[in-house]
Amino acid sequence: MTINESIAWALQKIFRQEKMDQDAYQQFAELWEMVTKDFQQRKRYSVHGPDHWRRVARNGLLIAEDSGADETVVCLFALFHDSRRVNEVFDPGHGQRGAAFAKECRNKFFTITDAQFDLLYSACEGHTDQLYHADPTIATCWDADRLDLGRVGNRPNPKYLNTDFAKMAAQERDPAKFLATLWGNRQL
């Protein structure tokens, strides 16, 4: 099994507290591959697909250093939030479908606590039509997604962001370049 260098690094970062729990790392890497393949079977390319998910994971982990978000939930949000999109436009309900897919996969492909799952479910479900959240993990997930608006030619607007870090990044001259540099320019 091969996984993208950036995701490997993200996983190392998540599991660093557990001194790189190899089983958890392997389980997460396999989950990432499974959801990616499932998506690619249905859609050849999407601006909301796996390339975007990796950048959302990166952005979320960068924000989490400051916001204190749960990094495991942030990475699972990155993977699931757009996993059930069926078109490239607004696609109402895709957040709810992504949340339901995460629920289907829980305990088959990954294990997290009930409290973590509640955050993941709410973050996926709400990302399509809510902007702000008081919980730092959900706020981090949504900001991580919005900081990747450069891929469709839009600048992220600090007005629609929750966290101090994301607001700061959005005001950089080139937010995408700024985030890539902070990530050590690892391939995404």
Write down the least CB distance from residue 146 to Fe ion, Å. 8
Write down the least CB distance from residue 51 to Fe ion, Å. 11
Write down the least CB distance from residue 19 to Fe ion, Å. 32
Question: In the complex with Fe ion, which residue's Cβ is closer, 70 or 82?
Answer: 82
The one-letter amino acid code at 119 reads L
The one-letter amino acid code at 49 reads G
**Residues in CB range of 188: below 8 A, 6 or more apart:** 4, 6, 51, 54, 55, 58, 180
Q: Enumerate the H helices of 43-146 as residue ranges.
A: 50-67, 71-80, 94-105, 114-126, 136-146
Question: In the complex with Fe ion, which residue's Cβ is closer, 15 or 97?
Answer: 97
Question: In the complex with Fe ion, which residue's Cβ is closer, 82 or 125?
Answer: 82
Write down the least CB distance from residue 95 to Fe ion, Å. 6
Residue count of the chain: 188
Question: In the complex with Fe ion, which residue's Cβ is closer, 71 or 82?
Answer: 82
Q: Tell the burial category of 24 from Cβ atoms under 10 Å away from its Cβ (0-12, 13-18, 19+).
A: middle
C-alpha count within 13 angstroms, C-beta hemisphere, residue 175: 25
Question: In the complex with Fe ion, which residue's Cβ is closer, 34 or 149?
Answer: 149
Bridge partner residues of 106 (DSSP)? 110
Buried b (16+ CB within 10 A) or exposed e, 126-161: bbbeeeebebbbbbbbbbbbbbbbbeeeeebeeeeb
Write down the least CB distance from residue 125 to Fe ion, Å. 11
Write down the least CB distance from residue 90 to Fe ion, Å. 9
Question: In the complex with Fe ion, which residue's Cβ is closer, 96 or 116?
Answer: 96
Query: Where along the sequence are the contacts to Fe ion (CB under 5 A)?
Result: 82, 145
